A and B are shown apart, each in its own frame.
Chain A
Amino acid sequence: MINQHRRTQLLELMTQRGWDSILLYGNAWRKDPFRSLVNFNFSGDHALARLSRSGEVAVTFSDPWDAENASARLEPEFARAFASGASAVAGLEFMEERFVAACGKLPVSATADVEELRRVKTAEEIGYIQQACDLADRGYQRFVEVAEPGMREFELVAEVEAFLKTNGAEDNFMLIASGGTEVVGMKPPTERKFQKGDSVTTELTPQVNGYYAQICRTLVLGEPSKEQLQAFGIFSEAQRAAQDLIKPGITAADAARAQNDVFRKHGYGDYTGAKYTRVRGHCLGLYPDETPHILEDVDYVLKQDMVVIAHPNTYLPLSGYMVFGDTLLLTESGNTRLNKTEKKLFVK
């Protein structure tokens, strides 16, 4: 349950910063700061780990079932868990103000420091992400098998969600869209029925033992149009450009530019900005949208054993919103694609 590698890293960080203790806080949305040290999938509202300079880890939950299953302290009045104060807190930003006030003296935020430690994955963490990638691949296979004209978006999501949970996913972050050139982005599923000719886009992000991996693909129901094929050619070329480039030493900006330059080359540079897209990728780990984001103004230098997804997802007037991306592990001199799903425009 305790990530010993992380504990060692945190103790070194505490020495560097002169901190006597560090708290790692998680809530039902942002479990990741807590789980970066204590990889326990809590189901209640709040969890807190306290690491002291001696190396001792004390864990407190707000929910009695979590406390019982983890043999940890229960504190239903969770503000009391902060009564001893702390030098620093990872997850401070997500804490309710009453918890911060209960610390007494305002702690320093350790969120950025801990996120930096989390970016470079251990072999064990990479193993979990590979399992999540394998599940994402199988989940997408299920997506393609089940999708058909007449089915509603939320019914397809139900089928995929069921498949992923059956096969061991703790959770899954999933967006979807369907239709043609009127579709400008993905969102939660609606009651819309799929129609022949639709582009059906999805971002699947299953979580295994705390760690997320992602796949982005587009499925066309029926024979793809010339425009859908042309659009996919551009997305494929952009993703390939990023995958060919990504290695330790390049920046997130380089990886974004490589993708955007392909759109510019084809005359679609206007569709690489915030009006039509969000990011050209992001890191993955205990949170499905870890930083740094792959954007042209992010100068973060990528490192070996980071896990990123490069996805040139955007709107194009040719075909509407389209997605395409794979999870990549940075190796010593390049990257390894962790997804095995065929890199193509899926057609059914």
Chain B
Amino acid sequence: MKRGLITWDKAELPPSVFEARLAKAREALAEQDLPALLVYSDVWRSDEGRHLTNYMPYWNRSLIVIPREQEPVLLCGLSPRVYPWIKSVTIFEEIRPASKLVPTLLQFCSERGWTKLGVLDLSRLTHEIYAPLAACNLVISDVKLELTDEAEIAMHRRAEQMAREILTAELPKGAGLTDYQFSGLLERAFRRAGAEDLVLLFSTGDSAPRPARGAMLGDKYSVAVALEYRGHWARVTQGLPL
């Protein structure tokens, strides 16, 4: 789960990057004559929302609404007590509590007078959101966006560099340890360096890489690290001997 450092370094990702991404989303809306874009976000499906707003849910689900003419709004399943923190790490100025996401969304659309809505990657919307939306009077349309830009690639490079440098330094320390012990060692190193999320898989050659299970690593093993750095994933695999 995402429980590491979630932050927004504006020197690394300036607000202008998000402005450009939102402008691209609004262009797509204009092409399809849609008043707003809906982006689903949960603990696992966070990449699209993070790209557009820097929002990273550490728990629960949320809906991001990007109007064509106004600022984005977060319909949030989390408690209002954490909204100041969310505002400090995202572009959002308006967050609405939404313990019931779809009714809150429909109310919001009604307030704005919208009768149709674009949905980013409609077929990947979760059923609990899709089903009530499809059953209401709102016309929903699929919207595709290219979510890659130079800033995005640069962040993935940073994630990859962090993953590679730390794994290279730590890899020899696993010899003679169990995979549990080595995963602890790697967790400390990566999380102290600012990793947001981490998936570690180990192999000693007798199976495909798998999560730690208390097995001895011996002196020949490989580690696959999937690292999330400020919303951007990189995957690096290295083996010993190097």
Contacts and interface: CB of A to CB of B under 8 A. Distances in A.
Interface of A: 27-29, 41, 43, 64-65, 68-69, 92-98, 100-101, 154-155, 157-159, 161-168, 170-175, 184-185, 187-191, 274-276, 278, 315
Contacts of A95: 126-127
B128 A93 contact: yes
22 contacts: A29-B42, A29-B43, A69-B210, A97-B124, A97-B125, A98-B123, A100-B127, A154-B4, A154-B192, A157-B3, A157-B191, A158-B188, A158-B192, A159-B188, A161-B187, A162-B184, A166-B180, A168-B180, A185-B82, A187-B85, A189-B3, A189-B5
Contact of A65 (B5, B7, B201, B212): B201
A64 B187 contact: no
A188 B214 CA distance: 28
B91 to A, nearest CB: 18
B211 to A, nearest CB: 5
Given A166-B185, A167-B180, A190 B123 contact: no
B184 to A, nearest CB: 3
Contact of A173 (B1, B124, B210): B1
A15 B1 CA distance: 36
Contacts of B208: 64-65, 68-69
A65 B127 CA distance: 27
A173 B3 contact: yes
Nearest to A174: B3
A162 B187 contact: yes
B183 A165 contact: yes
Contacts of B3: 157, 161, 172-175, 188-189
A65 B203 CA distance: 11
B109 to A, nearest CB: 19
A191 B196 CA distance: 13
A170 B211 contact: yes
B183 A185 contact: no
B188 A157 contact: no
A184 B81 contact: yes
A69 B183 contact: no
Contacts of A93: 126-128
B107 interface: no
Contacts of B130: 97, 100
Contacts of A43: 199, 201, 210-211
A69 to B, nearest CB: 5
Contact of B4 (A29, A173, A175, A189): A189
B108 interface: no
A315 B43 CA distance: 25
A140 to B, nearest CB: 15
The 8 closest A-B pairs by CB, nearest first: A166-B184, A158-B191, A162-B188, A185-B81, A29-B44, A93-B128, A65-B208, A98-B123
Nearest to B190: A158
Contacts of A167: 180, 184
A154 B191 contact: yes
